[in-house]
């Protein structure tokens, strides 16, 4: 009997990524800590989507440090609202200033 392959992409629902990093709105300026949540088919698409959204919001550069897939829905704000936005196809950017 063959077992199903163990694949990180076998989630019941859509893959919601969280990307942690720092964004820069001014050249050589102080960065803003960010959490970005979005739905994507893979991590490369998630990074591309995050960078495009940051560019649209006026960020000139970004250092993306960590990426992961959320396995549970967050219950505390602002992540709970960002998660819901990601489920609806939005790219949610949480700023920590």
Q: Which residue has the higher pLDDT, 78 or 2?
A: 78
Instruction: State which residues form the domain around 22.
Output: 16-96
Considering the domain boundaries, does residue 69 fall inside one?
Answer: yes
> Could you give the CA distance from residue 16 to residue 69 in angstroms, rounded to a whole number?
6
Of all residues in the chain, the percent with pLDDT exceeding 90 is 81
Range from 9-13, 20-24, 42-46 carrying the lowest mean pLDDT: 9-13
Give the pLDDT of residue 12. Answer: 72
Considering the domain boundaries, does residue 89 fall inside one?
Answer: yes
Q: What average pLDDT is seen over the chain?
A: 90
Residue 21 has pLDDT above 90, yes or no: yes
Length of the chain: 97
Residue 1 has pLDDT above 50, yes or no: no
Residue 23's beta-bridge partner residues? 32, 62
Domain count, the chain: 1
Considering the domain boundaries, does residue 6 fall inside one?
Answer: no
């Amino acid at each position: 009997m063959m077992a199903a392959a163990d694949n990180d992409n076998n989630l019941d629902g859509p893959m919601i990524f969280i990307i942690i990093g720092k964004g820069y709105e001014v050249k050589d300026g102080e960065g803003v800590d960010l959490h970005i949540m979005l739905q994507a088919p893979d991590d490369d698409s998630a990074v591309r989507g995050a960078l495009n959204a940051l560019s649209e919001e006026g960020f000139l550069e970004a250092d993306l440090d960590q990426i992961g897939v959320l396995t549970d829905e967050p219950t505390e704000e602002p992540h709970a609202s960002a998660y819901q936005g990601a489920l609806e196809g939005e790219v949610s950017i949480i700023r920590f200033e």
